[in-house]
A and B are shown apart, each in its own frame.
Chain A
Amino acid sequence: MSGAFKHLPIMMITLPMLGAALMPFVSYLRREAVPWVSALFLVVSGVLGLLLAGRIPPDGCVGYRLGGWEPPFGIELKVDFAGYFLMMVVCGISLLALLYSRLYIIREVEGGKITAYYVLFLLLSASMMGFVVTGDIFNLFVFMEILAISSYALVAVTGNRNAVRAAFKYLLMGAPSSIMVLLGIGLLYSATGTLNMADLAARVGETGYREVLIASFAVLVLAFMVKAAIFPLHLWLPDAHSIAPSPMSAMLSGLVVAVSAFAIARIAFSVFTVHSWGVVGTTLDALAAAGAAAVLFGGIMAIYQRDFKMMIAYSTISHMGYIVLGFTALNPEGLTGAVYHVLDHGIAKACLFLCAGNFIYRKGYRRIDQLKGAWREMPWTCFAFALAAWSVIGLPPSAGFISKWYLVYGNVKADRVPYAVVLLIGAILAAVYCFRIIYYMFFQPGEEGAWRDQVMDAPAGMLAPTWALSLATLFFGVFSYLFLDSLLKAAASLLA
């Protein structure tokens, strides 16, 4: 990649950061402009990303040396196809959630805090984009800090007692995990003397300090398990994700946890090369067991929820298990499934939360049994929900089907038939909790006076992002062949 194009990834990351930095001033001049200017920065970022399409070789990666310093001495971005793909996913979903926020957030957040909401929103998107493509492990930590701090604050932004409590719980689990990431990086640095991922991968095999490296890997995996809410360490997620404002729930559930789960894969494959080493494999086996437990636990808990957003949050726990089971299969198919699952889970989960937001915006309903007969008054939201739920279950032709197919295939190929069965059971559980709501919405008579007979759906500014996401689940299902070959190659080169 030559010419000005090599600068595109860094511009994609830093432009939303610049936007966030300018936002207090924009707000001082004209508060109504803040949502539009924020959206503009993400749009520019996305357009720069589209210009990159076809310029990232699927079986390699494009390095970008910040400040022009060669790798072990300076920081390097390593944009491989998987990273680029996730960057675009982050950018797209963030943009839609941001546009949705404009109308929704006025109801839940008081006027003076709206600018801070958009600042944090832009910082969250920028940090996730940096997080997935950085080639330096300390830089990963820096982006993780931005990601974590903005997430805590965005959970608490509504300012009511429950939101603050949920955010505090999130902070109490998140802050130690951030420290553990730093501890893991410190141990790694003490044993190798370098922070660059490629350089680490070369030196991890030859250094003599095995115990230190093992401890470092274990600590890093544990820390990112908290961030990704993987089963025994998921306790913060249901409260935080269900109480946050809906577009924020969409970001947290759709992107933040999934990107953190991908970080485990990045560390396992780009820093500790799996094949050279037995113990790393053992840790990954333990992680896979946790992932399988997460699939079942999240699915079963989701069935028992009475709060709509709580149910979606538990479904997220289940789906983080899917991603973990995907990349721990240690073959290209499983990893491709995991990366594609970040995409389709992100889209579908964001769409579900935006639908929940529509119900809350119009009616203030949060309980599942209040949704009986919702079809009569809010048909568009109900149909969008049904489409997204289709993808969450993983039925063809949605994108969820594609990723689950690869996840199951990868696990069967790795001789992990029990895990493949767990994945299928997870899909059945998803069908139970999704079809229950679809049944309530479309086929149950509502309570007297709960819904009007006349169509009064959410405003177009909120329906458009919701529908864009629900149609995207179909698009990425039907046109998945456009991406899968490149993703398979990228996954193979990541594992090599």
Chain B
Amino acid sequence: MKRLVSLLFIGALALLLLYVVSRMPPMGEPDNPTATRVVPRYLEKAEDETHTPNVVTGIILNYRGFDTMGEVTVIYCALAAVLAVLGRERRGRIRDYVELSGLPSSVIVRTMVALVVPFILLFSLYTIFHGETSPGGGFQGGAVIGASMIIFTTIYGLHLSSVKVPQRFRSPLEGSAVITFFLVGVLGFFGGGNFLTYAWPRVSEGLHPALVTWLTVLVEVGIGLGGAMVLISILFAMVREEGADEPLA
């Protein structure tokens, strides 16, 4: 009975929403509100105004930079949420599932991972630094770094990876996305602009084009580094949790 009522309710809601979809502006029409209000300016002027050839980067880091600051805070908040529930891994020697299971992975897998991870890291750096001209950017690059550490940790175990990326290295960098955004934002005040104006040092005829580009790249680097550290810390917290029930010697 309860299921039937829920089903009817959801069905009615779906019909209602489908009706609304049918009344929405037709997809892809050139005179839709979405295509006429803010988008033309972004497409036509983004490169001149934000000094980044990649329009998407121009929008997320410059026109709507504050939203992105909020989003990196959300990512950071996710880390804090995981740590609040699971706790951070302990400092010092960690016994993890690789040791506990007593099943070392094969030489082939270990060698392959050791060979591949540096290239993955190289690619992530390319993604981060080239994000203002081509698709990519800090979020993607950071995720790639995080993924490379996931591969590394699965094969070599938590202990070795926590030696490679120790807590004293991660803890100042976890918030680096938020911190970079804040610093670049405040820099705008000194150039006589507002928060996140990318305007310093002050140039009489407006913003300094190369400087805007470099500050954008700086923010990308901050996002990439912060995102990577957040992912790695979340990984470590979750891996430790997996071995937590096992008796520790």
Contact = CB atoms under 8 A, between A and B. Distances in A.
Contacts of B182: 14, 17-18, 21
B196 to A, nearest CB: 4
B73 A146 contact: yes
Contact of B66 (A67, A153, A164, A207): A67
A65 B175 CA distance: 25
Contacts of B36: 193
A450 B174 CA distance: 47
Interface in B15-46: 16-17, 19-20, 23-25, 32-39, 41-42
A150 B81 CA distance: 7
B19 A211 contact: yes
Interface stretch (A84-92, A183-191, A286-294, A360-368): A183-191
Nearest to A163: B85
A155 B247 CA distance: 29
A223 interface: no
B65 interface: yes
Interface residues of B, number: 62
Interface stretch (B106-114, B118-126, B136-144, B164-172): B164-172
Contact of B84 (A20, A28, A116): A116
Nearest to A18: B182
A28 to B, nearest CB: 4
Contacts of A187: 20, 24
Contact of B41 (A65, A73, A130): A73
A29 to B, nearest CB: 9
Contacts of A138: 64, 67
A24 B35 contact: no
Interface string A1-45: 000101100100010011011111101100000000000000000
B194 to A, nearest CB: 5
Given A142-B74, A207-B33, A212-B20, A193 B38 contact: yes
Nearest to B41: A73
B150 interface: no
B235 interface: no
Nearest to A67: B196
A412 B71 CA distance: 43
Summarize B's interface: helix, strand, loop or mixed: helix
A150 B82 CA distance: 10
Interface string A48-76: 00000000000000001111110011110
Contacts of A154: 84
A193 B77 contact: no
B198 interface: yes
A156 interface: yes
A53 to B, nearest CB: 21
Interface in A191-237: 191-195, 199, 203, 207, 209, 211-212, 215
Given A20-B80, A75-B66, A190-B24, 7 more contacts: A10-B185, A64-B195, A67-B62, A120-B77, A146-B73, A153-B85, A209-B23
Interface of B: 16-17, 19-20, 23-25, 32-39, 41-42, 62-67, 69-71, 73-74, 76-78, 80-85, 87-88, 90, 167-168, 170-172, 174-179, 182, 185, 188-189, 193-199
Interface of A: 4, 6-7, 10, 14, 17-18, 20-25, 27-28, 64-69, 72-75, 110, 112-113, 115-117, 119-120, 123, 126-127, 130, 136, 138-139, 142-143, 145-146, 149-150, 152-154, 156-157, 159, 164, 187, 189-195, 199, 203, 207, 209, 211-212, 215
The 9 closest A-B pairs by CB, nearest first: A21-B175, A193-B37, A153-B81, A193-B33, A142-B70, A21-B178, A116-B84, A116-B83, A24-B171
